[in-house]
Structure 1
Amino acid sequence: MNPFIYVLSVNGLMFLISVIFYFFPPKKINSLYGYRTHRTMQNEDIWSFANGMFNKVLLKYAAISFVAAMGLAYAYPNLMTSWFPMAFLFFTLLVCILSTENALNEHFDKEGNRKTRK
């Protein structure tokens, strides 16, 4: 398979999804679309915060992943036909989830209430 097509189908699709999520975030809590965990679906405040944070981080890291994978596909075309584009995708999602969960822990308690600043 052509490495550029492979990168476009994996990392390019993730970047496209991140653009869609960024410009069309979910408005209300739902079970189909958005950053859905038990915690984020507790109330509208935490839902809006989590989806806003996740969408920003996803757009940033999906773009970085896409550019890096395309660069590697250009520099090392034989290397990019293996698992590297999927590894970029996996690490992008991992970083986005961990960043969002850390931000949720900083701003909300376990019940979904905002923490007060001291």
Structure 2
Amino acid sequence: MFYLYLVTTILLSLTIIIFGFIFIKRPPKNINYLYGYRTSMSMKNQDTWDFAHRYAGKVWTILGSIALFIFTPLTIILKNIKHYDYIMVILIIVQVAFVTLVIPLTERALRKTFDKEGRRK
């Protein structure tokens, strides 16, 4: 099970980082309902759409890096602990929570930068 947890931890972290880089370097060009950071605020206009993707990409890159450099060593260090399986499930849940943490952080940045109509403050 150790190798499964190790691979899962690394893949989750790398996935977050990769999507972060994609959102920074190649965000969806146009507002759409299929792909991208889609919230009512981010879809107000092209400016909010572009801002949200750059910001979310930066957040995901940072969170993915934190996850990679903290959770991967923990996965290795804790492998001989009695309740390793339970600890790993908790660590994986925390990593998945990192994916969703981008939403409140990006929405807060959107509200600080734009008014309710999507115009820059």
Normalised-by-shorter TM-score class: 0.7 to 0.9
Offset at residue 37 of structure 1 (A): 0.6
TM-score of the aligned structures, taking structure 1 as reference length? 0.82
Match of 1:93 in 2: 99
Q: 1:30 aligns with which of 25, 29, 32?
A: 32
Q: Matches of 1:42 and 1:75 in 2, distance apart?
A: 46
Which consecutive residues of structure 1, in runs of 5 or more, have no partner in the other structure? none
The structure whose residues are more often helix, as a share, is 2
- Aligned-residue RMSD, C-alpha: 1.8
Please list the CA deviations of residues 18-43 of structure 1 after superposition, one character each: whole Å capped at 9, or x if unmatched: 23333321111111221111121111
Q: Matches of 2:29 and 2:91 in 1, distance apart?
A: 35
Match of 1:103 in 2: 109
Q: 1:10 aligns with which of 12, 22, 33?
A: 12
8 Å CA contact retained: 1:11, 1:89: no
Count how many residue pairs are aligned between Structure 1 and Structure 2.
114
TM-score of the aligned structures, taking structure 2 as reference length? 0.81
The share of aligned pairs that are identical, in percent, is 32
Which consecutive residues of structure 2, in runs of 5 or more, have no partner in the other structure? none
Q: Matches of 2:52 and 2:19 in 1, distance apart?
A: 17
Q: Matches of 2:100 and 2:30 in 1, distance apart?
A: 25
8 Å CA contact retained: 1:43, 1:112: yes
8 Å CA contact retained: 1:7, 1:70: yes
Offset at residue 66 of structure 1 (A): 1.7
Match of 1:82 in 2: 89
AA partner of residue 87 (structure 1): V
Q: Matches of 1:86 and 1:56 in 2, distance apart?
A: 21
